Amino acid sequence: RSPTTKQPRCHSSHPTTHHPPASIHHPSIHATSFLPTTSSQVTPRSMVASNRRQALLLVTVACSMLLLGYQMCAVTVPSPPIPAVPSASQASRSSHADPVTVVAASKDQTPNGKPSLSEILKHTRKEQQAENQSRKPRSDDCGKVCCLPASHRLEDAYIAATQYDGVLTSKPPIDRISYIKTHKTGSSTLGSIMFRYGARHSKTLYKSPSHGLKVATINPNTPVADIVVYHYAGVLSNMESIARWETAYEWYNKVVPNGTFVTILREPLSHYLSYYSFYNEPSGRADSIEQFILKKSNKNIMMRDFGVHKQEEMDEFMSKYADQFRVILLSNRMHESLVAMAFELGWTLWDLTYVQLLDSSKDGFKRWDGKPVKKTPKASSLPTNVLDTLKSITELDRQVYEYSEKRLNQLVDKYQEHFQGAVEAFDELNKQLNTFCNCADIGMEDHTFCKWYALSDMAYERKIKQDGSAQAHTLDFLP
């Protein structure tokens, strides 16, 4: 259309200024390209409607193109890259590095400057490596899972226990021992301690031709010995009187001249029940425990080891022999008793270590002939009348036990300055020894050592050679 063509006026009841569609501008669209090109006359009302439609169309097209352009920008324009946090080494090389950024980026420190977990672990590993290098060597086949760390704990416990050696060994050790081995009192465990002490310190161990001593004769190969570890009383039913003990007492003084007498006892009620469960019940001929007690069988069975049956014999034993024992251990206070013995004899805590040999208090235990041993009942589980009878038939056992307990308490008081600490050190030492020997990945050398510790009484008796010597076993990190 020619520029001179007049534009029709928009008739409205409200006069307004009309802006032609060309005011909505896009570079690629001409505002008049959508207007009618015919030269025919258009009425003003139809023209207004047409212009409105065209304006609306232009706005719609423009908005659509703007929206399309925005979406294209959102898709095609990449986001600005996130700046990478420099590593500690990169940050330290940059002279313009922000010190806060360096700390935050460090693998060895947290943002507040404290060591991170990785740094702590690294430091711990270095300390452990240095510690391992300073330790004495382990066997090549000692496993890393249990054996190696357990051996480290055992070595540490041993070193900690040596602080008491100066107190314990301040006098020459007493190492000529007439050990009176009793029945069902933990005596096999104590016997194994005596055996290992003799082997370690090159003492002469008496060699008996049988499991029980024959006190009527003396082995000519070891007429004089330092330590005796055997039962002298075999079948207790044969110990008919205190005269059997008197004969044995003379024999010990001949074989171990100037020897120190040591024995071990046990709380009488638990001792009686353990004796029944181990010796009587497995035979299959014994009555039930209740009937057995009510029949007053095994009366004063603990003192039977000394031939004592009645009060007159008990009085004689207490007046003539009880004080001859330098130490009377109590198995229900085992570690206190062992430490007291160490103080009295001048032995080290390591000399006392052991692994438990016989534990008939647990199910599945078998005695020497392979017969199963039932779990030992507790005295508290017995009916009242049975318990009262049990107390009456162990009265002599009760007398010697109370005497021995009083003696033990006196030793505790005597060494009270160091006693409790020594007991705690020994608890830890013996615990770590048993933990180490229970590892499934110990080496062959470790196994030999632990097997030596676990020898039963019959087994360690066989290890005594005819000349009274015995081979000792140890490991490089132990004495």
Name 178's bridge partners.
Answer: 228, 261
The more confidently predicted of residues 343 and 361 is: 343
Q: How confident is the model at residue 84 (pLDDT cuts 50, 70, 90)?
A: very low
Name 327's bridge partners.
Answer: 262
For the chain, what percent of residues have pLDDT higher than 90? 60
Does the pLDDT of residue 9 top 60, yes or no? no
For 114-172, the pLDDT digits (tens) are 566 566 555 555 555 555 556 888 999 999 999 999 999 999 999 999 999 878 776 78
Does the pLDDT of residue 24 top 80, yes or no? no
* Under 8 Å between Cβ of 458 and 368: yes
The rounded distance, in Å, linking the Cα atoms of 467 and 332 is 35
**Average pLDDT over the chain, rounded to whole?**
81
How distant, in Å, are the alpha carbons of 16, 49, 50, 297 from that of 12? 8, 12, 15, 134
Half-sphere exposure of 29 (CA within 13 A, CB side): 18
Half-sphere exposure of 203 (CA within 13 A, CB side): 21
Burial state string for 274-291 with b = 16 or more CB within 10 A and e = fewer than 16: bbbbbbbbbeeebeebbe
| Whole-number pLDDT of residue 434 | 97
What does the CA dihedral 164, 347, 462, 465 come to, rounded to 10 degrees? 120
Dig out the tokens for 339 from the structure: 């430490």
* Under 8 Å between Cβ of 193 and 354: yes
Dig out the tokens for 282 from the structure: 């497995």
Q: How confident is the model at residue 450 (pLDDT cuts 50, 70, 90)?
A: very high
Name 398's bridge partners.
Answer: none
> Which phi and psi angles does 366 have, rounded to 5°?
-125, 145
Does the pLDDT of residue 27 top 80, yes or no? no
The rounded distance, in Å, linking the Cα atoms of 465 and 457 is 15
Average pLDDT over residues 424-432: 97
